Amino acid sequence: VLIHKHNLQIDGGRQYAYFKTKNIHTQVQQERKEKVNNDDEYVLLANERIKISPFHAFNIEVKPNKPFSIIEKKNEEDEYEVTSIKETPRVANGIIAPSQYITLQVANLTKRTMIIHQNQPLANMTRLNQSQINMMQHGTISSTINQTKLTGENEPNLINTDLDEHQKKEIKKLIHTFPDVFNEQVGRTKKLQHRINLAPDVQAHNSPPFRYAPARKQIIEENLKDMLDQGIILPSASPWASSVILAPKKDGTLRFCVDYRKLNSATIRDAYPIPRIDDTLDSLQEAKFVSTLALRSGYWQVEMDKNSREKTAFVTHKGLFEFNVMSFGLTSAPATFQRLMDIVLAGLKWQYCLVYIDDVVIFSPTFEQHIKDLEKVFQALQSANLTLKASKYQVCRREMRYLGHIITQNGIKPDPDLIKSVKNFPQPKKIKDVQSFLGLTGYYRRFIKDYSKIAEPLQQQLRNSQKDYSKIAEPLQQQLRNSQKGNHHLNWSRGCTDAFEILKNRLTNAPIMNTPNFEQPFILELDACEYGVGAVLTQEYEEKKYVIAYASRTLSTDERKYGATEREALAIVWATKNFRPYLEGNKIYVRSDCKALEWMRTAKDVTGRLAGWAMKLSAYQIEEIKYRPGKLNANADSLSRNPLPDDIVNQHEVSTIETAVNLWQNTNILKDLKEEQQADPKLKQIINFLETKTTTDSNDKRNPHILVNGLLY
């Protein structure tokens, strides 16, 4: 804005300054007293119906009240002055060099929602003469205001869509019609409240506040202030008090969390049904246009029942507070949210709308119908006072991941991420790779027809290697060298390749891979090694075992520094998040070869990373964490040792001895070697010495032997 009386320049960046017309006196306005050709004057009309929230501004498209001469003459150097017709709605006055499309910034400076009707006059537009243009240029500021499109969180993401420009324009127009839905504020619905029902005779649990360093106290204080300002929490006098945890995020910052494990263990779980994934997917088979919606901090849009608020109380160094809204981490929160969405979208669900907890999907056979369906969903959300995040609104994507599947216009297919851990299993290069692969496939051998016949070339590789070992009669150091030699040389044949590919194919198709049965509990089989984690989601019923999904990943540099228990704990947290659409609201049985994991459910006074993980797990219905020896956990174990991506741990990161041990971890040769060593008088003497020795000197040249898992090296 340039005010010539005082030669004042105002640059508000992305903000806009509005002045009442009577207070702006510029030479440009004085020039307006001169006679102007009527052909150079226009009234700008709203091109569409728009709602503008109180004290909000919107960029809206307008059109002139008569044919636009600038287009006819194609004179793009002409400049026009725009002035607001009324104080309300207020148009940003300025100078524009319009193109075929004209967009104006329109502000609602009142306390009420304002509706701009289609064809409503908003501003006058007058072409400037040359003297006016020269005068403005003398003010050393460009008079041209470039037309901009809507950006930011209230703008939908139209990347990777098959929509043409007209269809994209229709989507934007629809969103602008619902500014109360696509709002930066977190909504607050009155449709229902979250209630916490406790088991009989439960006493209030009161935890003391954790002690934190000054820097962490500041983080807590900032979160408290933000939540108090938004009305999310309020001071409390509750007998309940849960602890606050600052859990690390991936980016290194800390997340404010409340440890509700004690409260959740005393809560009667809400049995409200979660939709069956297979029923949901059946409804999407014929859909050609599919969009997904994300609520803005969805849980915080649900009020807490007045009698349940005190149970959400948490203690900090600043005192005791409780939640006005449904907090994250409460055990029945997913069921409450599912109930809410079923109420809000009643009559729409299954016809052209699906809801799976906080995932809302709208599907239609044509684009025209899709616009109508979206409008009805937006109207329902608006009436419930729920708000969406436009930047996470996925509109008509070519491919869309949903509940472990890929939705396309040509149909639905399984998400390849769920089976790529097996499909991308690298071709074995060493004996231990063959051992690992057969450990994975052999785990499901009773479900693979002719398994022994198919796997025979690979089994022969192991038998040949074992024959070499059975002939070993040299000292143990020579045994180690032989094992290393056998570990690196593999006589891989065409038959081995065929067996390898056939088994991978059988393992990733029926009857091994199966759709989930939500009437049955889920079994999560986990393993973690020094460089990766693996998980297999299964179910067992009717005396059969079915695989729902596979998953694996490598550990980061920092994660590889974790201890064994921490790695196994990470595997549970990662796997539950990865398989959340299946696990949330259902019974879960965890199987792992780490005995210490049961500690995760009952540990007290934990802080930091482990406390954050324990809190996340408390939101799931984990019935049991059961120890399972590694030799019985070969499926997950193989995935963890061959994680994706394929750039697994550098060979030098694993010790020579550890490699030798892992090589035969699932064969009988270890047991045979132990028995032979125990039967040998000289070796037995060395073993007894090492078992009773309290310290080991790695530089002791006189005794170069070491004992690993009962085996002498």
Ordered by where they begin, the domains of the chain are 2-138 (2.70.40.10), 189-414 (3.10.10.10), 422-507 (no CATH), 522-646 (3.30.420.10), 668-712 (no CATH)
Closest by CA position to 374, among listed 48, 156, 113, 118: 156
For residue 241, give the DSSP letter. B
Q: 13 CB contacts (<8 Å, ≥6 apart)?
A: none
Q: 């072409």: which residue's tokens? A: 127
Instruction: Give me 156's structure tokens.
Output: 């939908």
The arithmetic mean of pLDDT across residues 693-706, rounded, is 52
Q: 413 CB contacts (<8 Å, ≥6 apart)?
A: 405, 406
364 pLDDT band (50/70/90 cuts)? confident
Q: 């948490």: which residue's tokens? A: 314
Query: How far apart (Å, rounded) are the C-alpha atoms in residues 705 and 396?
Result: 65
Give the N- to C-terminal CA distance of the chain in Å, as an integer: 82
The pLDDT of residue 295: 86
The arithmetic mean of pLDDT across residues 260-282, rounded, is 78
Three-state DSSP at 329 gives: coil
Strands (E), 332-450: 353-356, 359-364, 399-402, 405-408, 411-414
Q: 254 CB contacts (<8 Å, ≥6 apart)?
A: 216, 219, 246, 247, 248
The pLDDT of residue 641: 54
Q: 């091994």: which residue's tokens? A: 512
Three-state DSSP at 472 gives: coil
**Phi, psi dihedral angles at 300 (to 5 degrees):** -75, -5
Q: Is the pLDDT of residue 677 over 70?
A: yes
Give kind and range of the element (H or E) at residue 364: strand 359-364
- The more confident residue out of 684 and 153 is 684
Strands (E), 254-305: 254-259, 289-293, 302-304
Q: Would you give the distance in Å from CA 506 to the centre of its chain?
A: 30
For residue 99, give the DSSP letter. -
pTM of the model: 0.48
Give kind and range of the element (H or E) at residue 440: helix 431-442
The arithmetic mean of pLDDT across residues 158-162, rounded, is 72
Q: Is the pLDDT of residue 293 over 80?
A: yes
Three-state DSSP at 351 gives: coil
* Strands 2-3, 8-9: pairing kind: antiparallel
Q: Is the pLDDT of residue 592 over 70?
A: yes
Q: 379 CB contacts (<8 Å, ≥6 apart)?
A: 178
Burial 405-422 (b: 16+ CB within 10 A, else e): bebeeeeeeeeeebbbbb
Can you give the length of the chain in residues?
713
Question: Which residues share a beta bridge with 708?
Answer: 711
Examine residue 156 and say whether the peptide bond preceding it is cis (omega within 30 degrees of 0).
no
Average predicted confidence (pLDDT) for the chain = 72
Query: How far apart (Å, rounded) are the C-alpha atoms in residues 705 and 713?
Result: 5
pLDDT (tens digit per residue) in 624-643? 887 765 545 544 555 555 55
Q: 543 CB contacts (<8 Å, ≥6 apart)?
A: none
Contact 555, 564 (CB under 8 A): no
The pLDDT of residue 340: 92
Which of the residue ranges 177-191, 501-515, 664-678 would you say has the lowest mean pLDDT?
A: 664-678
The arithmetic mean of pLDDT across residues 73-94, rounded, is 72
Question: Which residues share a beta bridge with 711?
Answer: 708
pLDDT (tens digit per residue) in 468-486? 433 433 333 343 344 444 4
Contact 532, 551 (CB under 8 A): no
Q: Is the pLDDT of residue 503 over 80?
A: no
Residues 487, 492, 497, CA angle at the centre, nearest 5°? 125
pLDDT (tens digit per residue) in 273-291? 766 665 666 566 566 788 8
223 pLDDT band (50/70/90 cuts)? very high
Q: Is the pLDDT of residue 523 over 90?
A: yes
Q: What percent of the chain has pLDDT over 70?
A: 64
